[in-house]
Structure 1
Amino acid sequence: MSLVRWNPLRDFDSFFTPTNRFFSTPEMKNVETSWKPLVDVTEDASEYLIKAELPEVKKEDIHVTSNNGYLTISGERKFEKEDKKLHTMERFYGSFERSFNLPDDVREEDINAEFKDGLLTLHLRKTEVPQASQTRIDIK
């Protein structure tokens, strides 16, 4: 027999998950409606590289946008019901969204994306950032 520490707030926290308890089917009770894909961000001399794991997500269900210095990856992994008895469900389904601040040396029009085997790869090419120059202003 093992002892388990009682946490009185555990069930209270689970009440506020995004799953709709009142209208979902018994099979969908443990299905999350939002999740965050795992992401690696690396950098070399010429570019930043973002790799996002999106297993079982179709290319047409992925959206990559950039706006006002932010890069956003969003989409949906759909739950496909099978005629099998479900014993355990640990994977997440539903919509997802990840946002990143774009560095100053990346122009939004220089971002390229590719998707293969469940891996979204974004290439953010570095550009020269103009050096701030100091200008002397005469006082009149």
Structure 2
Amino acid sequence: MNALTRWDPFRELDELQKRFSTLLGRTPVKTNGEQQEALTVAEWAPVVDIVEDDNQYVITAELPGLQKEDIKVGIQNDVLTMSGERKYEKEEKDKKFHRVERAYGSFSRRFTIPENSDGEKVSAEFKDGILHVHLPKTETVKPKQIEVAVG
């Protein structure tokens, strides 16, 4: 005997969303029975660039409208976390808003640091709405050539 399966028109869309989330490196999590990306836990997420050179990794985040005091950067268990909050502007009673597109509230971004980086020497600087997090690379031991003597 064949069992009947209830058709859910959104099941295929949910599966597609899971695949895109996996492709983008975001972890789907379940909250209240609904699946959401871990990135959506925060109210907004700043865009970042991650650049590598011979000596370090640099994470650059756009954080317009924030002050230095609104931002926290830390490393724990090889995960670098940037978090903060963009405070809501005071509502003015005599103004009528037609559109509000700027994001407000808290954010959090997390990045697993590479094995060849030194989390103990991480530094951060914030200027003109741009956060730069510098993560130095560890010193690599270069192989030593030993000359074999004939004798």
2:69 aligned counterpart, secondary structure:
helix
Alignment of 1:77-96 (within 5 A): 77-83=86-92, 84-96=95-107
- Identity of aligned pairs, percent? 53
Rg larger for: 2
Alignment of 1:68-79 (within 5 A): 68-79=77-88
Deviation at 1:128?
Answer: 2.3
Match of residue 72, structure 2, among 63, 87, 97: 63
**Structure with bigger RCO (C-alpha 8 Å, 6+ apart):** 1
What is the distance in 1 between the residues matched to 2:106 and 2:90?
17
What is the distance in 2 between the residues matched to 1:106 and 1:119?
22
Q: Counterpart of 2:52 in structure 1: which amino acid?
A: E
How large is the Cα RMSD of the aligned pairs? 1.8
Partner in structure 2 of residue 35 of structure 1: 44
What is the distance in 2 between the residues matched to 1:97 and 1:113?
16
2:88 aligned counterpart, secondary structure:
coil
Which protein has the bigger helix share?
A: 2
What is the distance in 1 between the residues matched to 2:66 and 2:100?
17
Give the paired residue count: 101
Q: Counterpart of 1:74 in structure 2: which amino acid?
A: S
Alignment of 1:1-140 (within 5 A): 34-83=43-92, 84-129=95-140
| Cα displacement string for residues 32-85 of structure 1 (whole angstroms, at most 9, x for unaligned residues) | x71000100000111101000001011101000100100000010001124121
Q: Counterpart of 2:89 in structure 1: which amino acid?
A: E
Deviation at 1:127?
Answer: 0.9
Runs of 4+ in 1 over 2 A off after TM superposition: 128-131
CA contact (8 A) 1:66 1:108 kept: yes
TM-score of the superposed pair, with normalisation by structure 1: 0.67
